[in-house]
Amino acid sequence: MPDEFDELTQERFEEMLGPPVSVDGIDQETDDGKIDGIVFELYKEAACVVSVTAHLLDDSASAKGGLSRNQAICAGLLVRITKLMLVVTQLGATGNRSEPVMVLSRCIMESAVNLEFLAHKNEDRFYDQFVKLSLGPERELYDQIRGNIVARNGVTLPIENRILSRIENLCRVSGVKITDVDRKPGDWGGGVRERLKALGNL
C-alpha cells in the first residue's frame, strides 16, 4: 500500500508541476539569450514548486479542520513568495524590468528568511513575535477608531463596528490580543541580522 500511495502521490505532483525543465548542455551554452531562457523557465518551475508546497495538507491536519496557527503562518509566507515570484515572471516576460524585479526579489528573500527561521527554530515565542509585529497596522487603526469614538462621546459608526469586528476576529484566530500588540514598529527574532546568523547565513 505505501508503494502504491507513493506512486500515486508522485503522479499527482508531476501532473501539477509539469515536465521538469531540461538543463542538458547549459554548461556548454554560449548564447546568453538561450541561457536566460532556461533560467527563466527554471524560475517558473521553482514558483510552481513553492505554490504546490504552500497548499499541502496532510491527513492529520485535515482531520483537525486545517493547519495549526504556526503551520498556517509558514504556508502564508509560501503563498506570499509564490505571488511575488509570479509578478517577477510577468515582468520578466515583458522585457528588461531589472529595477522592480530587484525590489520584488528583496521581498522574496525576506519572506524566505523569515520562513526558514521560523521553521528552523520552531518555537511559539518567535511565531508570537512575528504575529504581533504583523498586526502593527491593525493596532494603529484600532487606536485611531477608539479615539474617534471617545471624541464622539461613545457614538460608533457602522463602518467602525465592522472594522473593529474584523480586527477582533483576526486577533482571535492569531491567538493575540490587540492590546498586546506594540504601538511602535519594531522587529522580531532579534532583528534580520540575528535571524540570518541563526541560520548560518551571516
pLDDT tens, position by position, for the chain (202 residues)? 344 456 656 777 777 778 888 888 888 888 888 898 899 999 999 999 999 889 887 777 777 788 888 999 999 999 999 999 999 999 988 876 788 889 999 999 999 999 999 999 999 999 988 998 889 899 999 999 999 999 999 999 999 999 999 999 999 888 888 988 887 766 767 776 777 777 776 5
Domain range spanning residue 87? 1-122
Residue where a domain terminates, one of 87, 122, 157: 122
Residue type, 127: Y
> Do 85 and 35 fall into the same domain?
yes
For the record, the C-alpha cell of 200 comes out as 548560518
From the number of C-beta atoms within 10 Å of its C-beta (0-12, 13-18, 19+), residue 195 rates as buried
> Do 47 and 82 fall into the same domain?
yes
Residue where a domain terminates, one of 62, 88, 122: 122
> Do 106 and 153 fall into the same domain?
no
Which residue in this structure is represented by grid cell 477582533?
Answer: 168
> Do 2 and 96 fall into the same domain?
yes
Residue where a domain terminates, one of 66, 97, 122: 122
Q: How far apart are CA 91 and CA 98, in angstroms?
A: 9
Structural domain total, the chain:
2
Closest to 54 measured CA to CA, from 70, 71, 37: 71
